[in-house]
A and B are shown apart, each in its own frame.
Chain A
Amino acid sequence: MKTSNSLKKLYNIVSIIVLIALAFCFVFPLYWIVTGAFKTPVSINSPTPDWIPKELVMDNFKKLFSRQMAPVFELGFIKGPDAPAAVRWMINTVFMAIMAMVLTCITASMAGYALAKKRFHGRVLLFTLIVCAMALPKQVILIPLIREMSALKLYNTIWAVILPTVGWPFGVFLMKQFSEGIPTEMLEAARIDGANEFKTFTDIVFEMVKPGVGALAIFTFINSWNDYFMQLIMLSSTSNLTISLGIAKLQAENSTDFGLIMAGATLAAAPILIVFIVLQKYFTKGITLGAVKG
Chain B
Amino acid sequence: MAKVVYTGRSKELVRRETASAYMFLLPSLVFFIGFVIIPMIICIYTSFFDSTMGKDAKDVFIGFGNYIELFKDGIFIKALKNTFVIVIISVPVVCIFSLWVSSVIYNLNDKVLSVFRCIFYLPVVTGSVAVTVVWKWMYNNYYGIFNYIGKSTGVLKTNINWLGDERFALMCIILILLTTSVGQPIVLYVSALGNVDNSLVEAAQVDGANELQLFWKIKWPQIMPTTLYILVITTINSFQCFALIQLLTSGGPNHSTDTVMYYIYYMAFKMFRYGYGNAMGVVLAIFIAVLSALQFRVAKER
Q: Does A touch B (CB under 8 Å) in the complex?
A: yes
Closest to B283 in A: A140
When the two chains form the complex, which single residue of A49, A123, A145 contacts B148, counting CB atoms closer than 8 Å? A49
For B9, the closest partner residue in chain A by CB is A119
The yes or no answer to B4 lying at the interface (CB within 8 A) is: yes
Distance A139 CA – B241 CA, assembled complex (angstroms): 10
Contacts of A135 in B (CB 8 A): 232, 236, 288-289, 292
Which secondary structure dominates where chain A touches chain B?
Answer: helix
Q: Which of B38-46, B65-73, B88-96, B164-172 contacts A (4 or more CB under 8 A)?
A: B38-46
Contact A139 B281, CB 8 Å, known A29-B131, A36-B134, A107-B27: yes
- A141 near B40 with CB under 8 A, answer yes
| Complex-state Cα separation, A225 to B23, whole angstroms | 30
> What string of 1s and 0s marks CB contacts (under 8 Å) between A132-151 and chain B?
11011111111111011000
- Given A115-B25, A140-B281, A144-B39, verify A291-B229 contact (CB < 8 Å): yes
Separation of A113 and B27 alpha carbons in the complex (Å): 13
The answer to whether B264 and A121 touch across the interface, beta carbons within 8 angstroms, is: no
Question: Would B23 and A197 count as touching, CB distance under 8 A?
Answer: yes
Shortest distance between the CB of B136 and any CB in chain A (Å): 8
Query: In the complex, which residues 270-294 of chain A have their Cβ closer than 8 Å to any Cβ of chain B?
Result: 272-273, 276-277, 280-281, 283-284, 287-288, 291, 294
Interface centre among A103, A121, A135, A287 (most CB of B within 10 A): A135
The B-contacting residues of A in range 220-264, CB under 8 angstroms, are: 222, 225-226, 228-229, 232-233, 243-245, 247-248, 251, 256, 258, 261-262, 264
- Interface pair A15/B104, CB less than 8 Å apart: yes
Q: Are A127 and B127 in contact (CB under 8 A)?
A: no
**Interface hits, A193-211 → B, CB 8 Å:** 197, 201
Report B-chain residues with C-beta under 8 Å of the C-beta of A129: 37
Q: Is A98 among interface residues, defined by CB-CB distance under 8 A? A: no
> How many angstroms from the CA of A110 to the CA of B1 in the assembled complex?
18
Bitwise interface map of A from 30 to 44 toward B, beta carbon under 8 Å scored 1, else 0: 101100100000001
C-alpha gap A110/B23 in the complex (Å):
9
**Nearest CB in chain B to that of A108: its residue:** B28
Q: CB < 8 Å: which of A140, A247, A288 contacts B188? A: A288
Task: For A101, list chain B residues within 8 Å (CB).
Answer: none
A36 touching B137, Cβ below 8 Å: yes
Some 13 contacts from A to B, beta carbons below 8 A apart, are A25-B179, A33-B130, A114-B24, A119-B5, A135-B236, A139-B242, A141-B43, A143-B278, A201-B24, A228-B242, A261-B133, A287-B187, A288-B188
- Within the complex, the shortest CB–CB distance from A92 to chain B, in Å, comes to 14
| B197 close to chain A: CB less than 8 A | no
B17 within 8 A of A: yes
The interface residues of chain A lying within 8 Å CB-to-CB of B122 are: 26-27, 30, 273
| Cα separation A127 to B1 with both chains bound (whole Å) | 10
**Interface residue from A32, A166, A243 paired with B134 (Cβ < 8 Å):** A32
The stretch of A59-67, A73-81, A167-175 in contact with B is: A167-175
Q: Tell yes or no: B203 within 8 A of A by CB.
A: no
Contacts A119-B4, A228-B242, A280-B114 hold; do A269 and B126 have CB atoms under 8 A apart?
yes
| Nearest CB of chain B from residue A123's CB, rounded to whole Å | 7
- A23 in the interface (beta carbon within 8 A): yes
B32 and A169 within 8 A (CB): yes
A228-B242, A284-B187 as given contacts; A169 in contact with B21, CB under 8 Å: no
Whether A268 lies near B131 (C-beta < 8 A) is: no
User: Across the interface, do A110 and B24 meet the contact criterion of CB distance under 8 Å?
Assistant: yes
* B148-A265 in contact (CB<8A): no
Contact A124 B261, CB 8 Å, known A135-B289, A232-B246, A272-B127: no
Supposing A47-B148, A140-B43 touch, asked if A118 and B38 sit within 8 A by C-beta, the answer is no
The answer to whether B277 touches A226 (Cβ under 8 A) is: no
Min Cβ gap A35→B in Å is: 11
Pick the most buried of A141, A143, A269: most chain B CB atoms within 10 A of its CB: A143
Residue of A46, A143, A294 touching B268 (CB-CB under 8 A): A143
Contact call B36/A114, Cβ cutoff below 8 A: no
Query: Do the beta carbons of B264 and A291 come within 8 Å of each other?
Result: no
7 more contacts with CB within 8 A, not counting A133-B37, A139-B261, are A33-B126, A107-B28, A135-B288, A144-B46, A225-B127, A262-B134, A287-B184
**In whole angstroms, how far apart are the Cα atoms of A33 and B131 in the complex?**
8
Closest 7 CB pairs of A and B: A111-B28, A140-B281, A167-B35, A167-B31, A118-B21, A144-B42, A114-B24
Contact with A along B32-59 (1 / 0, CB 8 A): 1111111110110010000000000000
Task: Say which residue of A36, A111, A138, A169 sits within 8 Å of B24 (CB atoms).
Answer: A111
Cross-chain contact A110 with B148 (CB below 8 angstroms):
no
**Cβ-based interface call for B210 (8 A):** yes
**A126 — which chain B residues lie within 8 A by C-beta?**
25
A280 touches B118 (CB 8 A): yes
Chain A residues contacting B188 (CB-CB under 8 Å) are 287-288, 291
A106 CB, min distance to chain B CBs, angstroms: 7
Decide if B18 touches A4 in the complex (CB within 8 Å).
no
Beta-carbon contact of A137 and B27 below 8 Å: no
Question: Which residues from B are CB-within-8-Å of A132?
Answer: 289
- Bound-state Cα–Cα, A114 to B244, Å: 39
